[in-house]
Amino acid sequence: MATPEPLKPSASTLGLADDARDTSSGSAQLQQMAETAQALMQLARTRALAPSMEKTTRSLSLAEMADLIQVPRKTIEYAIETRSLPSGTTSGRKRLFTLVEVAQFRQHFGRVPHRPAGSAPCVIGVANFKGGVGKTSTAVHLGQYLALQGYRVLMVDLDAQASLTTLFGLLPDSDVPTELTALPFFSGNVDSLAGSIRHTYWHALDLIPANLALYNAEFALARRQNVESGFRFYAVLKEGLDAVGKNYDVIVLDTPPALGFVTTNAMYAANGLVIPITPAMMDFASAAQFFQLVAEHVDVINQHEGGDKRFRFVRLLVSKFEANNKVHETIEEWIRQGFESAVFSKNMVLSAALRTGPELQTAYEMGSYSGDRRTLQRAMKFLEDVNGEIEKLIRQQWAHEIRQRSAAEAAA
C-alpha cells in the first residue's frame, strides 16, 4: 500500500465561491461544507480506483488457494493438467487465480461449505450504540472472510452514514439511489428487499447499500406503527430477510450507532449478535447501558410475540486492543471475568494495517503494504482467529438445528 499523495483540489473543483472566507455560519455555509466534503470523497475515490473506477479483489497465488481450500498444491496442479479447470494467469514466477476461479476449484474438490439443507441462514447483527468501536470494520472483514471461505454472503448496511457501502467502492450520495437502499422496504413502498440487493466485486458476496436518506427509516417505521393496524415495527427486516435468505448461507447486518427502530429490527432479525467493545472506561460504561436497553427491547418484543426471543449466540469482541496498554489490559480483564465464555477468546487489535486509508482497501483486499510486513501478518492473524471463532459458531448453529429437527422427527 503506497503512501498516497495529498489531494490538492482547486477551489473551482470543490465549488467554493470567491467569498469562501466569509466567517459567518448558517445553512448556506453548512451546505457548502457538505458539498466540499462530497467533492473530496469523489476525488479520493477517483484516485483510489483509477483507472477502472471500480474496486476489484486481489487474485490469490496457487499456494494461497491451496491453503484456503485445504487441498495440496500438487493435487491442484494435477487437476489443472488433467481437468477442465482454470490455469490462472502468470505474474512473474507466480500463477494467480481470481476468486471466481477459486470457487471452481472448491466445487471440483467438494470444498463448498454451504449450510445444510433445511437449515436457516445465520443472520449476524454487529451492534453497539457507541460509535467508533469498530462495528463496520468487524462486519466487513467478517463478510469478506466468509466469502473467502466459500460461503454465500449478504451484507446489509443499516447505517445512514453508509461506511460499509463506501468500503465497497460506492459513494453513497451519487452511486446509491435511495430506492435501492432498504428505506423503501422499511417505508412499505415495496414488498421485497430483492430489488435492493446488488452483486459486488467479491464473488458470492452481495450488498444492500445505504445512503443518508436511510435515516428516514426511523420516522417511516414510527409512522407505520401509528397508522397500520397490527403493524409490528420490529419485524419488518426479519420478514424481508426471510424472503431472500434462501440464496445465502450468512447475512451480516451493520447497524447504526443507536438503539432505535432500525437497530431493533436488526436485533429481532438476527440469530447471532457480535458486540464490539473497546477497552476504554467510557466505552465500557456505554456498553453496560447498551446491554440494559437491548434486554428491555427484547422483553417488550417478547410480550408482543408471546414467546421468548432466543439468539443462538451473543458474543463480545474486545476491539481496538493495544497490547502493553495497562488501561486496556485492566478493562479487558474486567470484561473477561464478568462475561467469561460470552467473550471471544481473541481480541481485535488496534493496528495500522487495519486502518482503511485513501485506497479504500480492507485487510483482505491489500495486495501490498508499505509498512512492516510483520505488522500486517500479525493483524491478519488476529482477524483470522476472530472470524474463525464466528465461523465455528455459525456451523454449531446449523448442527444444533439438524439435531433439533432429527429429534422432532424421531418423536413424531
Whether the Cβ atoms of residue 148 and residue 99 lie closer than 8 Å to each other: yes
The overall longest dimension of the chain from CA atoms, in Å, is 80
Q: How far apart are CA 60 and CA 94, in angstroms?
A: 10
Cα angle: 129, vertex 44, 277; to 5 degrees: 20
Place of cell 452481495: 206
Measure the N-to-C terminal CA separation of the chain; round to a whole number of Å: 60
Whether the Cβ atoms of residue 376 and residue 353 lie closer than 8 Å to each other: yes
pLDDT digits (tens, 9 = 90+) for 369-384: 667 777 778 888 989 9
Q: Is the pLDDT of residue 14 over 60?
A: no
* Long-range own/partner contacts, residues 90-97 (CB < 8 A, 24 or more apart): 91/59, 94/61, 94/62, 95/61, 95/62, 96/59, 96/60, 96/61, 97/59, 97/60, 97/61, 97/62, 97/65
Mean pLDDT for 86-104 is 92
Indicate whether this model's pTM tops 0.85: yes
Residue 98 confidence class, pLDDT cut points 50, 70, 90: very high
Whether the Cβ atoms of residue 124 and residue 273 lie closer than 8 Å to each other: yes
pLDDT digits (tens, 9 = 90+) for 59-73: 999 999 999 999 999
pLDDT of residue 26: 76
Q: Is the pLDDT of residue 7 over 70?
A: no
Mean pLDDT for 335-343 is 90
pLDDT of residue 19: 57
Residue 397 C-alpha cell reads as 448453529
